[in-house]
Amino acid sequence: MDKIIKIKRTDLIAKCNKYLSGEIKETDFEDYAWNLIANDIFDWDDEIISEIIYQWDSPELNFPITKKNIELWKHQLETGEDLLPDYNLWNIHIDRQKEICLKHQSKWNPINNKLMIGVGSDLNIDPIHGLRHPKEKGTTGWYIWTGEYMESSDFFQPFCAEHLLQIRPDLIKYFGLDIGFRFLIDKNGHEDVWFDEKLKL
């Protein structure tokens, strides 16, 4: 009888580290997960390990194998905190949008996440400014930026709203605010939301 090999969280963390250092590719996760599932010599007694292995085995049904998601899986293995839905599922943020709208007395006016947002500057910098104009064709009407605002015509670049999930999912909850609303937030929890009548013109 073959000796049972016990899989630990550290084994999966090591796999994540190899990917993040460029030693392995995305497809290696599917092969690794399938090997663990298909061979009786492997065993584990950990719900998080089990969940992640099955996610890696079928990324088309769960979450894609991306650098950000690998970082999030590693975080889950280290802390137990699962942030994958926040960074991958738009609808997770819908109730949060409604809460923000209720808090700031705005009608909930959700956007089509396949349309464009105007993005200026590096979104990894704080604080982030956001404002919503009436939408034009192909756009949501939202514009977000960091640092000093500039009037130049190329300051804002079009960016698909859905792609913000993997960059700044904390912004998504504000995109239900109605036309005319603005926000100013940072990663430390500062939040300022207000209505600007001039934006509706």
Q: Does 1 score more than 60 pLDDT?
A: no
pTM of the prediction?
Answer: 0.86
Q: How confident is the model at residue 101 (pLDDT cuts 50, 70, 90)?
A: very high
CA nearest neighbour of 161 among 129, 124, 114? 114
Mean pLDDT of 38-52: 94
Angstrom distance (rounded) from CA 74 to CA 84: 11
Q: Is the pLDDT of residue 199 over 80?
A: no
Query: Cα(182)–Cα(131) distance, rounded to whole angstroms?
Result: 4
pLDDT range class, residue 201, cuts 50, 70, 90: low
Tell me the per-residue pLDDT of 104-160, one tens digit each, with 9 for 90 and over. 999 999 999 999 999 997 888 889 999 999 988 889 999 999 988 777 778 899 999
- Render pLDDT for 13-42 as a digit per residue (tens, 0 to 9): 999 999 999 999 999 999 999 999 999 899
- pLDDT(200) > 90: no
pLDDT value of residue 2: 66
pLDDT category, 3, cuts 50, 70, 90? Answer: confident
Q: Which residue has the tokens 């950990």?
A: 46
Token match 């005319």: residue? 180
Minimum mean pLDDT range among 7-11, 46-50, 142-146, 151-155? 151-155
CB count, 10 Å around CB of 46? 15
State the CB neighbour count (10 A cutoff) for residue 69. 23
